[in-house]
Amino acid sequence: MTHSVFIAGEWRPARSIGTFRTQNPATGEPLTGEYPISSWDDCDAALSAATEAAQELRRVPPEKIAQFLNRYADRLDMLKSELSQLAHFETALPVSPRLADVELPRTTTQLRQAAAAALEGSWALPTIDTKANIRSCLAPIGPVVVFGPNNFPFAFNGAAGGDFAAAIAAGNPVIAKGHPLHAGTTRTMTDVAAGALADTGLPAPTLQLIYRMEPSSGLRIVSDRRVGATAFTGGRAGGLALKAAADGAGKPIYLELSSVNPVVILPGSLEERGEAVADEYAASALLGGGQFCTSPGLAILFEGSGTGRFVTALTQKFDAAVPVPLLSAGVARGLTESVQVLRGAGAELVTGGVRLKPDTPNGESSRFANTLLRVTGRQFLSSPDQLQTEAFGSAVLCVIVRDGSEAAAVIDHLEGSLTGCIYSAQNGDDDALYADLAPRLRARVGRLLNDKMPTGVTLSPAMNHGGLYPATSHPGFTAVGIPASLRRFGALHCYDNVRPGRLPAALRDKSPNGRMWRFIDGQWSQADVPV
Amino acid sequence: MTHSVFIAGEWRPARSIGTFRTQNPATGEPLTGEYPISSWDDCDAALSAATEAAQELRRVPPEKIAQFLNRYADRLDMLKSELSQLAHFETALPVSPRLADVELPRTTTQLRQAAAAALEGSWALPTIDTKANIRSCLAPIGPVVVFGPNNFPFAFNGAAGGDFAAAIAAGNPVIAKGHPLHAGTTRTMTDVAAGALADTGLPAPTLQLIYRMEPSSGLRIVSDRRVGATAFTGGRAGGLALKAAADGAGKPIYLELSSVNPVVILPGSLEERGEAVADEYAASALLGGGQFCTSPGLAILFEGSGTGRFVTALTQKFDAAVPVPLLSAGVARGLTESVQVLRGAGAELVTGGVRLKPDTPNGESSRFANTLLRVTGRQFLSSPDQLQTEAFGSAVLCVIVRDGSEAAAVIDHLEGSLTGCIYSAQNGDDDALYADLAPRLRARVGRLLNDKMPTGVTLSPAMNHGGLYPATSHPGFTAVGIPASLRRFGALHCYDNVRPGRLPAALRDKSPNGRMWRFIDGQWSQADVPV
């Protein structure tokens, strides 16, 4: 049986050019059913339906959009066990706590925050100049294509995750390109969304689903005249190819790609609380098999006995933890290759570095030993590009520098990353090093942390899950954090001398809801325009 | 004599690969002095100096940046007569009112608004989540390259205009690529800026000036690792070539390119006040020789007697106005070619269409007859691309449609524009047409106007001087309007669990100035973080 795609409001057979199957990465067993690889015809049909839906959505009051997002969240919560079980089979991520207790609640919280943001309307930065009678706000950008990644079957799912929620809350329809590794989870979530759309009376093509398409169709869809913007979370090669296509057509594309997430551990912090830092590091690096965008893949440490003890402790913890099955055998294969590249560039293997035997006789293993590697600062500086190869999984490279100036040089050679952390002593011993290194690290990352590992990406209005190229495509935007993440999907619409009755609700003298923050004559205010 | 470039804080001879001269476009007479065409060496030196200046600027309090911008504005105001005279010789734009009474005051107002924005700091959208202790704001993006256009020697000058002011106020150094047609004006302004920089103690390379570079160096500078972002105002071919280079390196580039700026004139408005509408249209289209980004190049009119009278009136006004010298003979040449393309695609010449005789025996003419062309809606729809060829100068194409549905089709075929206007009757006769056409036009433009021509771009926080590709490179940003224009030059910096004393001033509990708007726990506030 081949599953249907969801296009123009109906589940229908794909116009496909082939099929694929999913499998349980823990066992290598194939899961039931085949999924279609869509031809351009499916993409084209989805774009046409999305264009019409975009026009309809402009006439829909925000209350209805919020109602849909809330109802969708409620229904997902009700199906928590089933969804977690399904996602577990497809991803090997544990049902509990990961899928059922962390990721699904995160996903529905995100949907509800998006609902609240749509309802309030402040995300659009409505700005009113009463004297000149010029008014502006962000408005829906048009159909948004969301490419979901492999590593979050719920929270970054193209049909339910953060990009989806932000695009919908900003008033846009979404064409979800689900990740093939968890096609069944995405299909089920889309079906839940379809029910919520019908319940609330939104246009059915507010969400459409394609599981997989030819690479050439991917390049074509992100650059199509009908599309408003694209959000892509995933690997660098695919993301940059899509970016080139979208850029060439003048279409915004927001990427959230791989990143090594440097952690600088200053010597005083190890003197003070070395064991605790090693605990925190190991827990963060091993979490979810290290398969996070913000996994701490690169530690910068200072030569000395504290670092020696830290590496020993980390090694013990890595050895003691049983490697989990990764998201697919392909991920294990990629990790094998990355570790080879790192070793080829001079990194010394401290522990791990090998792929484990398959669990089933004929299967391909999806497990890889927890891996720690080490280079000196000098070696790093001789091959800085290769030694920043992302090793997606639980693999950490320790760069051991001689002194502050070598640390500074290493940091200055880092590519853009989503996050950067600095651990320093509480007693002030590291303050001089911090003062020199923090501004350098600040310039390379989107989120700077103190004394804290990067893998928790709090759902906060102040979050930046973004950073410099090549971790993302634009340093001014974040993929997580409402309301800011919605602004990626807005076009600035200005109204100059437009008659009052013709203005959108957000820009009329009377506040549409008494809660929307508007920048009126230089002041942020929730009130009506003063008479 | 060959003029110097201003690099790394000093006026020094360029490492040049050639020279060029400027001339008075009204007379064809060459002006004194030669200007260098810089080699990559100059660009490289400017980038290195800018990188250091960017680091220094991060430690400079906003008060000093504001002080520089204000002092620069004051000095420009004092030199109003000299600057206006100089710019007049180079551009043929009239000293009064244009240069001395409109454009220079606009420029210094913009610098002072930027100073106020830098001082207040609200532009950076500081966001504080006290519960999670996560804080974020926009921070300087890094050295900004500003390419100034030919048509505003002051207000969009790379060394003094809106992009310059926004980039500096956001805390970034600027490398100005002056426009070769008014190299002397840019040189003088840069010298004034250099004095103001010295007075206020900002790093001298906060502004650097290159007059001209090889195209290959342009592609290289916008994609250099050291650059933060680029702003370009000018023609489409050059802008899109730079965009391709910047995009390929993941460097933000903000374009403000040509645009036809459609004006839809509904039949009721002509019945009601046809003569007045023709007056307004002619004044806007003829202003400054039509050499504005927002010049109304395309009128959409409905078949009928009102439109007949309108076209006749416009023809009379175009014929009665003496064509001004354009910014250069090259602009007149470009206009000649554009009118040929329009005619080749089926546009009928109503009046004008010819280049005027040169004023000097051996010169090349920079004057072109005020030009009106006409096509039917049906013809337009058969060659919509060619018939949207921008004719930079006073040339207007009237598209005369049969009915509302043809008007809708014409609008749906428009490329992205900066502005779009609709004139409609006050008595309600046009309301049904407006309701159908306005959403379509809204989707194609950055600024929608009612009953008003687009050429006045008010300096307002609510302004959008932006729009869809290919008029710009991203629909979410504006080149005019403070504080929004500053945000183009900010990178989102998040601080997660960072110790209080290490936070930037904008994100500490205590407001740095009691006036900065910060989004604290979901509320915009000018107060300190509540204890």
Rounded to 5°, the CA angle B490-B494-B496 comes to: 170
Over range A192-203, report the average pLDDT.
98
A360 falls in which pLDDT band (50, 70, 90)? confident
Contact: B490, A468; criterion CB under 8 Å: no
- In this predicted structure, which of B142-156, B265-279, B354-368 has the lowest mean pLDDT? B354-368
Relative to beta strand B174-177, strand A417-423 is unpaired
For residue B361, pLDDT beyond 90: no
Over range A260-288, report the average pLDDT.
97
Q: How far apart are CA B252 and CA B490, in angstroms?
A: 10
- Relative orientation angle of helices A104-120 and A162-169, to the nearest 10 degrees: 20
Q: What ipTM score was computed for the predicted complex, to two decimals?
A: 0.97
For residue B362, pLDDT beyond 90: no
Give every CB contact of residue B71 below 8 A, 6+ residues apart in sequence.
Answer: B196, B199, B200
For residue B531, pLDDT beyond 90: no
A256 classed as catalytic: yes
Q: Which residues pair with B6 in a beta bridge?
A: B11, B209
Tell me the three state secondary structure of residue B473. coil
| Beta-carbon count within 10 A of B531 CB | 4
The whole-number pLDDT of residue B360 equals 72
Nearest to A486 by CA among A25, A131, A116: A116
Q: Is B423 on the interface with A (CB under 8 A)?
A: no
A514 falls in which pLDDT band (50, 70, 90)? very high
Tens-digit pLDDT profile for residues B433-466: 999 999 999 999 999 999 999 999 999 999 999 9
A139 falls in which pLDDT band (50, 70, 90)? very high
Interfacial B residues in 483-502 facing A (CB < 8 Å): 484, 487-488, 490-499, 502
A390 classed as catalytic: no
Q: B426 with B456: CB under 8 angstroms? A: no
The single-letter DSSP state of residue B216 is: H
Q: Is A252 on the interface with B (CB under 8 A)?
A: yes
Burial track B33-59 (b if 16+ CB lie within 10 A, e otherwise): ebbbbbbbebbbbbbebbbebbbebee
Over range A216-232, report the average pLDDT.
98
Q: A518 with A525: CB under 8 angstroms? A: yes
Q: Is A393 on the interface with B (CB under 8 A)?
A: no
Rg from Cα positions in chain B:
24
The whole-number pLDDT of residue A90 equals 97
3-state DSSP helix/strand/coil percent for chain A, to nearest 5? 45, 20, 35
Largest CA distance in chain A: 78
For residue A359, pLDDT beyond 80: no
Nearest to A476 by CA among B476, B447, B461, B256: B476
Tell me the three state secondary structure of residue B372. strand
A120 falls in which pLDDT band (50, 70, 90)? very high
The percentage of chain B sitting over the pLDDT mark of 90, rounded to a whole number, equals 97
For residue B363, pLDDT beyond 90: no
Cis amide leading into A470 (omega within 30): yes
Give every CB contact of residue B477 below 8 A, 6+ residues apart in sequence.
Answer: A492, B254, B466, B484, B485, B487, B488
Q: Which residues pair with B299 in a beta bridge?
A: B263, B398
CA-to-CA dists, residue A341 to A470, A480, B110, angstroms: 19, 31, 52
Q: How far apart are CA B158 and CA B46, in angstroms?
A: 15
Nearest to B306 by CA among B429, B157, B132, B153: B429
For residue B166, pLDDT beyond 90: yes
Q: Which residue of A has its CA nearest to B434?
A: A502
Q: Is A258 on the interface with B (CB under 8 A)?
A: no
Q: Phi and psi of A454, rounded to 5°?
A: -85, -5
A220 falls in which pLDDT band (50, 70, 90)? very high
The whole-number pLDDT of residue A95 equals 97
For residue B467, pLDDT beyond 80: yes
Best A411, A478, A496 residue to mutate vs chain B (most B CBs within 10 Å) = A496
| Beta-carbon count within 10 A of B461 CB | 23
A24 falls in which pLDDT band (50, 70, 90)? very high
Best A492, A495, A517 residue to mutate vs chain B (most B CBs within 10 Å) = A492
Tens-digit pLDDT profile for residues B210-253: 999 999 999 999 999 999 999 999 999 999 999 999 999 999 99
The whole-number pLDDT of residue B47 equals 98
Tens-digit pLDDT profile for residues A407-421: 999 999 999 999 999
Q: Which residues pair with B145 in a beta bridge?
A: B175, B230
Question: Which chain B residues are closer than 8 Å to A127 by Cβ?
Answer: 461-462, 484
Question: Which chain A residues are closer than 8 Å to B222 by Cβ?
Answer: none
Q: B204 with B8: CB under 8 angstroms? A: yes
Q: Which amino acid is at A66?
A: A
Rg from Cα positions in chain A:
24
Q: Which amino acid is at B474?
A: H
Tell me the three state secondary structure of residue B490. strand
Q: Which amino acid is at B14?
A: A
The whole-number pLDDT of residue A258 equals 82
Tell me the three state secondary structure of residue A144. strand
Q: What is the dihedral of CA A91, A96, A101, A102, to 10 degrees?
A: -50
Over range B455-478, report the average pLDDT.
96
Q: What is the dihedral of CA A64, A69, A73, A74, to 10 degrees?
A: 0
The pTM for the full model equals 0.97
Q: Which amino acid is at B99?
A: L
For residue A63, pLDDT beyond 80: yes
Q: Which residues pair with A447 in a beta bridge?
A: A419, B494
Burial track A325-348 (b if 16+ CB lie within 10 A, e otherwise): bbbbbebbbbbbebbeebeebbbe
Strand (E) or helix (H) holding A11: strand A10-12
Name the catalytic one among B43, B137, B293, B398.
B293
The whole-number pLDDT of residue A364 equals 85
Question: Which chain A residues are closer than 8 Å to B132 by Cβ?
Answer: 458, 460, 462
Interfacial A residues in 49-68 facing B (CB < 8 Å): 55, 58
Name the catalytic one among A90, A103, A120, A256.
A256
Question: Which chain B residues are closer than 8 Å to A439 by Cβ?
Answer: 55, 58
Q: How close, in Å, is residue B521 to chain A by CA atoms?
A: 8
Q: How far apart are CA A367 and CA A373, in angstroms?
A: 18
A260 falls in which pLDDT band (50, 70, 90)? very high
Q: How far apart are CA A376 and CA A471, in angstroms?
A: 24
Q: Supply the mean pLDDT for chain B.
A: 97
Which one of B249, B252, B447 has the shortest CB-CB distance to A496? B447
Q: How far apart are CA A434 and CA B422, in angstroms?
A: 58
Give the DSSP per-residue string, B63-125: HHHHHHHHHHHHHHHHTHHHHHHHHHHHH---IIIIIIIIIHHHHHHHHHHHHHHHHH-GGG-
A435: tokens are: 């003062």
Q: B299 with B281: CB under 8 angstroms? A: yes
Tens-digit pLDDT profile for residues B62-74: 999 999 999 999 9
The whole-number pLDDT of residue A346 equals 97
Over range A65-84, report the average pLDDT.
98
Tens-digit pLDDT profile for residues B19-39: 999 999 998 899 989 999 999
Q: Which amino acid is at B418?
A: L
Tens-digit pLDDT profile for residues B101-140: 999 999 999 999 999 999 999 999 999 999 999 999 999 9
Nearest to B274 by CA among B219, B325, B313: B313
For residue A504, pLDDT beyond 80: yes
Q: How far apart are CA A499 and CA A110, in angstroms?
A: 37
Q: A64 with A187: CB under 8 angstroms? A: no
